Amino acid sequence: MIDEARLKILVESAKFDVSCSSSGSGRRNEGGVGNGYASGCCHSFTPDGRCISLLKMLLSNDCIFACKYCMNRCDADMPRASATPDEVCSLVMDFYKRNYIEGLFLSSAVHVSPDYTMEQLYLTVKKLRTEYNFHGYIHVKGIPHADAEIVRKTALYADRMSYNIELPSERSLKLLAPQKSRESLLLPMARLQRERLEFKEEKRKGYFLPAGQTTQMIVGASPEKDGAILRLSQGLYRKNGLKRVYYSAYVPVVHDSLLPELPGGALREHRLYQADWLLRFYGFDAEELLPEDGNLSLEFDPKCAWALAHMELFPVEVNRAPLEVLLRVPGIGARSAQRILDARRFTKLTFEHLKKMRVVLKRARHFITASGKFYGANERAVRGLLAAEESKSNAVQMSLFPNETALSALTGEL
Amino acid sequence: MIYFYDGTKEAFLTALLLSYDDPLPVLTSGNCQLALGQRTVFVRADAEKAQKAERRLLSIDKDCMRDLDLLLRSGDADKDTVALGYFRMIAKRQRPVREMLGEDDVLSAENHIRRVTFEIHRMKGFLRFMECASGALYAPIVPDNDICDLLVPHFRSRLPMYFFVIHDVKRKKAAVYDGEHTFFAPLGEAEVVLSADEAAWQRLWKEYYASVNIPSRERLKQMRGYMPVRYWKFMPEKH
């Protein structure tokens, strides 16, 4: 059994990796312990509001790289620790059977050399699958500059792999993560994607990353605008077939003159995720949402901001609007849109119906009519009302003084 | 009129037939506040009638018995009347009504069903096994709805070689899997002798839980929203 002190070090060094999802793999239990659960499963939630799905830890936090934003960089004064493959395996098995976790998220600092590190990760997951007979979810981090063959062999045992892009531009990467290059991150991603498709095409036995690849970007440690970030994500989804891009508001864990001292902002991170959802599930293009050198509005969610800029398209009639249009109404999510489609086949929907169906009308009412009726505010007032709603619901205070439109909406001076 | 029944499927279907012409039936399997002069009927299950009703309903909507099973598991006090409203509608309209979300009866039934299935999903994550000295796994739970047997297939497929017990402490019943068969039994209090290592693994898990948190980003409200306090009772990391 691994001791508590080392576990603490290896987990605290891993916790800034955002990815926690355990979805997307239908791996079957072949005579051992565990299986994939395609919808994913959250086993607990920590006081920071994040879910625990996978056992997230490093094999070692003893790093030869010196990425400026990272707490494990080689010149940082940190307690260092490593775990053996067997220690990790037995931890996974005992946590899993108690239903604490859905599987393993294994990463590592670059220890000794990239090849050596990747090999250690490979040996650990191979052992877990073949000796410990574990068929639950495994997510493995790819190590930049590591040998392609070891990476490919790892993918045969993992459900998902991820290379972290870390920073949205080559320039920032050079500045803050001098040993990583854009190529050392993007090339292996593309190669894995190619190998995954080949594997599928040849209908070979076994699995090759059934849950695909993801990546992560740190937001706020470097000067890139949201517009550039979202265009990058869009490319990764559409060209590289990535399943998820995670955004992580920069938390200053180390001090360096090249880094901002203030955290990047949880609200900005939230807005990026909202926009990311619009790209993946709502048929939006990054170009529609904002210009390359623009930032997302902090005042309104991205769909609201888009709708306010396109008031000429609204209101739409819920009894007639096609799915693509309903999906563009602020406040109407994918689920509500589908329910509206179902329900209107049988009856002419009114606002009463929508309310009972729990369609959130707070924002939507300004953009729809139901059976010809409109319950929204006039175009001039909408902005203020929506801004007021937002600042009420945002857990993070945006500024000390609420903006003027929001305030006048609250006091009824519109 | 108020119809009392025992909460079983047979009695429910019998009551459905019996109350069919009643304009405002109330059905209940538990306690119910009686108004002055309110008339009551005690429905006894009639296997033959119930079977006939089930066949008719299935010919209209082949999935409706799954809905009924989930509805009757709900922990909400009005679940019986809600289920009655839903099935009366299937019978009256002579078609599946699942997607008629403009209808109150359908919406209420849908809500109840969703609460039950959502809790099943949640429990797959929040349930915690303890290892007993014998090597068997034991998980006490206190769900809102009567779902403990529905959790078994999930855990059986991932832990096929373990003997495990899922114990609904509130309803005093348990689902048992012995490595081969599953069975269900009433179970008041269980005497559990934990394995020698159990306490150490729980400590390690608590250490993990504490270490993976980012204290500078505390969002307690969000945590409680995703993981309501009533589920914390048997989670080692919350004690």
> Which residue in chain B is spatially nearest to A102 when comparing CA positions?
B125
The DSSP secondary-structure symbol of A282 reads S
Please say if the pLDDT value at position B9 is more than 90: yes
CA distance B226 to chain A (A): 7
Say what percent of chain B tops pLDDT 70. Answer: 99
pLDDT at res. B157: 96
- Using DSSP, state whether B42 is helix, strand or coil: strand
E strand or H helix that includes residue A188: helix A182-201
- Alpha carbons A75 and A176: distance in angstroms, whole number: 14
Answer whether B95 touches A (CB < 8 Å).
no
What per-residue confidence (pLDDT) applies to A413? 33
Query: Does residue B179 carry a pLDDT above 70?
Result: yes
Task: Tell me the nearest-neighbour CA distance from A140 into chain B, angstroms.
Answer: 18
Q: Provide mean pLDDT across the span B28-53.
A: 86
Short-list A269, A181, A185, CA closest to A221: A269
Q: What is the mean pLDDT of chain A?
A: 89
Cβ contact, residue pair B102, A346, below 8 Å: yes
Contacts of B191 (CB under 8 A, 6+ apart): none
Q: What's the mean pLDDT in A98-106?
A: 97
CATH class of A4-289: alpha beta
Question: What's A88-128 look like in SS3?
Answer: HHHHHHHHHHCCCCCEEEEECCCCCCHHHHHHHHHHHHHHH
**Inter-chain touch A56–B222, beta carbons under 8 Å:** no
Model ipTM value: 0.94
By the 10 Å C-beta count (0-12 exposed, 13-18 middle, 19+ buried), A211 is classed as buried
pLDDT of residue A262 exceeding 90? no
Report yes or no: B163 at the A interface, CB cutoff 8 Å. Answer: no
- Residue A253's pLDDT is 73
Does B135 contact chain A (CB < 8 Å)?
A: no
Put simply, whether B99 touches A (Cβ < 8 Å) is: yes
Residue ranges of domains in chain A? 4-289, 302-411
Range A297-308 average pLDDT? 93
Q: What H or E segment, with its residue span, contains residue B27?
A: strand B26-28
d(C-alpha A3, C-alpha B206), whole Å: 13
Q: Which of A133-142, A218-227, B115-124 has the lowest mean pLDDT?
A: A218-227
**pLDDT score of A398 more than 50:** no
A135 neighbourhood in chain B, CB within 8 Å: 158
User: Would you say residue A378 has pLDDT above 90?
Assistant: no
Residue B33 reports pLDDT greater than 80: no
Beta-carbon separation of B212 and A46 below 8 A: yes
When pLDDT is cut at 50, 70 and 90, the band that residue A264 belongs to is: low
Residue A390 half-sphere exposure toward CB, CA atoms < 13 A? 27
CB contact under 8 A, A33 and B226: no
Q: Which one of B104, B158, B204 has the shortest CB-CB distance to A29?
A: B158
Looking at beta carbons, which residues of chain B come within 8 Å of A254?
Answer: none
Average pLDDT, integer, range B168-197: 95
* Euclidean distance between CA atoms A94 and A83, whole angstroms: 16
Mutation target among B123, B126, B158 for the A interface, most CBs of A within 10 A: B158
Q: Which of A14, A98, A251 sits opposite B128 (nearest CB)?
A: A98
- CA distance to partner chain B, nearest, from residue A234 (Å): 28
Nearest to A141 by CA among A53, A56, A50: A56
Q: Does B207 touch chain A (CB under 8 A)?
A: yes
The partner residue sitting opposite A42, judged by closest CB among B125, B209, B237, is B125
Rounded average pLDDT over A385-407: 54
**Mean confidence (pLDDT) of chain B:** 94
When pLDDT is averaged across residues A346-353 and rounded to a whole number, the result is 94
Residue A408 pLDDT greater than 50, yes or no: no
Between B64 and A256, the higher pLDDT residue: B64
To the nearest whole angstrom, how far is the Cα of A245 from the nearest Cα of chain B?
21
3-state SS of chain A: helix, strand, coil percent to 5? Answer: 40, 10, 50
Q: Determine the Cα–Cα distance for residues A236 and A234; give it in Å rounded to an integer.
A: 5
Which strands form B26-28's sheet, in the order they lie side by side? B26-28, B2-4, B40-42
Q: A414 to each of A307, A310, A378, A402, A406, how far by Cα in Å?
A: 20, 21, 10, 15, 10
Q: Using 50, 70 and 90 to split pLDDT, how confident is the model at B133?
A: very high
Q: What is the nearest CA distance from B44 to chain A, expressed in angstroms?
A: 35
A353 vs B contacts (CB less than 8 Å)? 101-102
Q: Which of B119, B181, B87, B212 is nearest to A52 (CA)?
A: B212
Contact flag A7-B208 (C-beta cutoff 8 Å): yes
Nearest CB to B157 within list A15, A35, A263: A35
Count CB atoms within 10 A of the CB of residue A172: 18
With 50 as the cut, is the pLDDT of residue A411 above it?
no
Chains A–B, number of C-beta pairs less than 8 Å apart:
150
Average pLDDT over residues A168-190: 89
**Taking Cα atoms as reference points, which of A101, A106, A12 lies closest to residue A52?**
A101
Per-residue pLDDT of A23-55, as tens digits, reads: 989 999 999 999 999 989 999 999 999 999 999
Between CA B90 and CA A199 the distance in angstroms is: 48
Distance (Å) from the alpha carbon of A129 to chain B's nearest alpha carbon: 14
Q: Give the 3-state secondary structure of residue A61.
A: coil
More confident residue, A240 or B109: B109
Which tokens in the block code for residue A60?
A: 């070692």
- Reference A375, options A366, A383, A384; nearest CA is A366
| CA of residue A111 relative to chain centroid, distance | 27
pLDDT category of residue A263 using cuts at 50, 70 and 90: low
The secondary structure of A259-272, three-state, reads: CCCCCCCHHHHHHH
pLDDT of residue B217: 84
Proportion of chain A above pLDDT 70, given as a percent: 93
pLDDT band at B43 (very low <50, low <70, confident <90, very high): very high
Neighbours of A372 (CB within 10 A): 9
Q: Which residues of A touch B166 (CB under 8 A)?
A: none
C-alpha A139: how far from its chain's center?
14
**Are residues A98 and B220, on separate chains, in Cβ contact within 8 Å?**
no
From A90, which residue of chain B is nearest by alpha-carbon distance?
A: B201
User: Mutating which of B204, B220, B235, B238 best tests the A interface, going by the most A Cβ atoms within 10 A?
Assistant: B204
The amino acid that residue A198 corresponds to is E
Please check the confidence at residue B200 and state whether its pLDDT lies above 50.
yes
CA distances from A37 to A103, A161, A364, B155 (A): 10, 17, 34, 11
**Yes or no, beta carbons of A98 and B221 under 8 Å apart:** no
Cα separation, A105 vs A159, in Å, equals 10
